Amino acid sequence: MRNILIVDDEQSMCDFLSILLEGEGYSVQSTCNPKAAVTLVESGAEIHMVITDLKMPEMDGIQVLERVKQVNSEILVIMITAFATTENAIDAMKKGAYDYLTKPFKVDEIKIVVRKAFESWDLKQENTRLKSQIQTQAKFESIIGVSREMKQIFETISRVSDLNSTILITGESGTGKELVARAIHMKSHRKGNPFVTVNCGALPENLLESELFGHMRGAFTGAIQNKEGLFEVADGGTFLLDEVAETTPAIQVKLLRVLNDKKFKRVGGTRDISVNVRIIAATNRDLEGMVEDRSFREDLFYRLNVIPVHLPPLRERQVDIPLLIDHFIVKCSRACGREPLNVDQDAINCLMEYHWPGNIRELENVIERCVALERSDTISLESLPAFIRNRRIPTLNPSGDIPPEGLDLEEIVGNYEKAILIKALKRTNGIKKDAADLLKITFRSLRYRLKKYDLEEYINSNDVIGRQER
C-alpha cells in the first residue's frame, strides 16, 4: 500500500484529491495545516508521497518540501499551484520535488504523474538493492556457496564484522577459515589497516613468541636489534591466530593477557605495549575436548570463543560443488593462459560423490591438475584422477527396479558393500577391529574386503586409518 499525504489550505482540494487517489488504490491522508503535515512526517509516520500546494499561509510549499526532504529524502514530493512561474518550478526541482503541476489540472494528468513517480521510485529502490547485492557478493567473492550453511556464514560475517569481539573459526583443514577471517576484516571499519596472520603450528615456541610480541636487542642469541612483533604490526587492524590449538601453555598465558588487557611486553622488554587489535582465532581441532584434556587453557578458550563460526566440510554442502568447480576452472584456466574448459555431467557427478577429505583446497588442486593436463576443451570423467574415479562414495539407495536393458548385480552389490565398509570405518574412527565388530564379521574378513575393493589407499588418503589396529 502506497501512503500519500495531501497538504492544501483549501479543504475542497484536499477532499477532491483524496477521493481521486483512493479510487486508484492509494492510502490517502489530508490536512489543511502545513505545519501539522510536517509534524506528521517528523513523527516517523510511513509516508511515501507528499502532494502540497505552493501558496499557503504560515508555511508555503517550498518550506514543506525542504522539511520533508530533511526528514526523509526518499519521500516523493509533488508541487501544485495556481501561480506557476519558471522560477518557482526550477526552485522546487532543485530542492528535490519530483514534479510540478499547475491548477487547473486534468484528472488523468494527476493520475499519470503520481503513477510515474511511484514507478520511478520503485526503479530507484531496485537499483539500490541490486547495487547492494553486487557489493555484498564482491566482498564475499573468494567464498563461494549457495547452500543454507554458507548463507548463514555470510549473514554472520555481515553481522559481526564491525564488532570488536573475538571470533573463533573452526572447521576441517581446507574449508576456508582464513578466507572467512579476511572477509570479516575487509567488511569491517578496520579494512584500511593491516590484516596479519600467523600459523601458530609452524614455529617452535621461542620463535613464535618473538614473532608475536617482538624482542629487545640482546634478549637472546642472535637478537642484534630491537624487533617489533606482529601484534604491533597489526595495530588498528585484525590479527588471525591460525591453528591456535598448537600453542604451548606459556604462549597461551601471554595470549590471554593480550585478549584481556590489549597489552604485552616484548621478549626481554620491561615496558608494556598497548595495541588496538581485533583478534580472530582459527583451528581444525576440538578445543572443547582439549580443554577437558587440560591441553588448552579453559580461560583462553572462553576468551577466544566469544563469537563462534563453524565452517562445514565440503562433503556436507554438495550443492556448492558445481559452483566451486566453475570458479576454479575460470581461475586455473586464466593462470594457464587458456579459455575456460567445459565439464561434462559425468565428471561433475563423480566430483560431487567424492568425499573430499582435503575439502575446498583439495578440489582446487584437482581442478588445477585437470586444466593443466586436459588437451581437449572439456573435462570428462576420464580426465579426473584415478583415486577420485575409483574411490567416490557410492549411493546407499539402490533402486528396486530393473531397467529393460538389465543391470550389473555384482557392481550394485559391490558398491553397496563398499559404502557400508567406508561408513563403518568412519564411525569407528578408522579402527578396523571395531569396524569388524560393528559389521558382525571377523577382522580377517574385513581385511579381505578392504583389499578386494582396493580401499586401503582410499582410507589412508582420507585420514580415516593411520591409527593402531587394536
pLDDT digits (tens, 9 = 90+) for 172-206: 999 999 999 999 999 999 999 999 999 999 899 98
Does the bond joining 404 to the residue before it have cis omega, within 30 degrees of 0?
Answer: no
Residue 461: the pLDDT is: 45
Task: Give the span between the Cα atoms of 202 and 401, in whole angstroms.
Answer: 54
Task: Give the span between the Cα atoms of 178 and 204, in whole angstroms.
Answer: 21
130: pLDDT confidence band, cut at 50, 70 and 90? low
CA atoms within 13 A on the CB side of 172: 15
Has residue 395 got a pLDDT over 50?
Answer: no
Which of 260-269, 313-322, 375-384, 418-427 has the weakest average pLDDT?
Answer: 418-427
Instruction: Identify which has the larger pLDDT, 463 or 80.
Output: 80
Q: Within 10 Å of residue 470's Cβ, how many Cβ atoms?
A: 7
38-77 pLDDT, tens digit per residue, is 999 999 889 999 999 988 888 888 999 999 999 988 899 9
Residue 450: the pLDDT is: 84
Find which of 69-83, 292-306, 379-393 is predicted with most confidence, using mean pLDDT: 292-306
- Residue ranges, CATH 1.10.10.60, the chain: 409-461
Mean pLDDT score, 102-121: 87
Which of 139-143, 272-276, 396-400, 401-405 has the weakest average pLDDT?
Answer: 396-400
Q: Which CATH number fits domain 148-312: 3.40.50.2000, 3.40.50.300, 3.30.1490.20, 1.10.1740.10?
A: 3.40.50.300
- Residue ranges, CATH 3.40.50.2300, the chain: 3-128
Residue 137: the pLDDT is: 47
pLDDT cut 70: percent of the chain above it: 88
The whole-chain average pLDDT of the chain stands at 85
Report the predicted TM-score, pTM, of the whole model to 2 decimal places.
0.56
235: pLDDT confidence band, cut at 50, 70 and 90? very high
404: pLDDT confidence band, cut at 50, 70 and 90? low
366-380 pLDDT, tens digit per residue, is 999 999 999 998 999
Cα–Cα separations (whole angstroms), residue 286 to 141, 147, 256, 334, 466: 29, 24, 19, 38, 19
Task: Give the span between the Cα atoms of 187 and 198, in whole angstroms.
Answer: 21
Mean pLDDT score, 454-460: 60
* Cβ atoms of 17 and 28 closer than 8 Å: yes
Q: CA-based Rg of the chain, rounded to a whole angstrom? A: 33
Say which CATH architecture domain 409-461 belongs to.
Answer: Orthogonal Bundle (1.10)
Residue 237: the pLDDT is: 94
Task: Give the span between the Cα atoms of 258 and 275, in whole angstroms.
Answer: 9
Has residue 464 got a pLDDT over 60?
Answer: no
What CATH number is given for 315-391 in this structure? 1.10.8.60
Residue 451: the pLDDT is: 79
169: pLDDT confidence band, cut at 50, 70 and 90? very high
Task: Give the span between the Cα atoms of 80 and 82, in whole angstroms.
Answer: 7
Enumerate residues 6+ apart whose C-beta is below 8 A from 135. none
412: pLDDT confidence band, cut at 50, 70 and 90? confident
Alpha helices in 53-204 (DSSP H): 61-71, 86-94, 107-139, 148-160, 177-187
User: In this structure, are strands 273-274 and 263-264 parallel, antiparallel, or unpaired?
Assistant: antiparallel
- Residue ranges, CATH 3.40.50.300, the chain: 148-312
Residue 176: the pLDDT is: 92
Residue 320: the pLDDT is: 87
What CATH number is given for 3-128 in this structure? 3.40.50.2300
Which of 240-249, 261-270, 382-391, 425-434 has the weakest average pLDDT?
Answer: 425-434
Residue 104: the pLDDT is: 80
Q: Reduce the DSSP state of residue 79 to 3 states and report it.
A: strand
226: pLDDT confidence band, cut at 50, 70 and 90? confident
pLDDT cut 90: percent of the chain above it: 44
Has residue 276 got a pLDDT over 90?
Answer: yes
* Cβ atoms of 67 and 41 closer than 8 Å: yes
Q: Reduce the DSSP state of residue 310 to 3 states and report it.
A: strand
- Residue ranges, CATH 1.10.8.60, the chain: 315-391
Residue 138: the pLDDT is: 36
Q: In what order do the strands lie in the sheet with 195-199?
A: 195-199, 238-242, 278-283, 167-170, 307-310
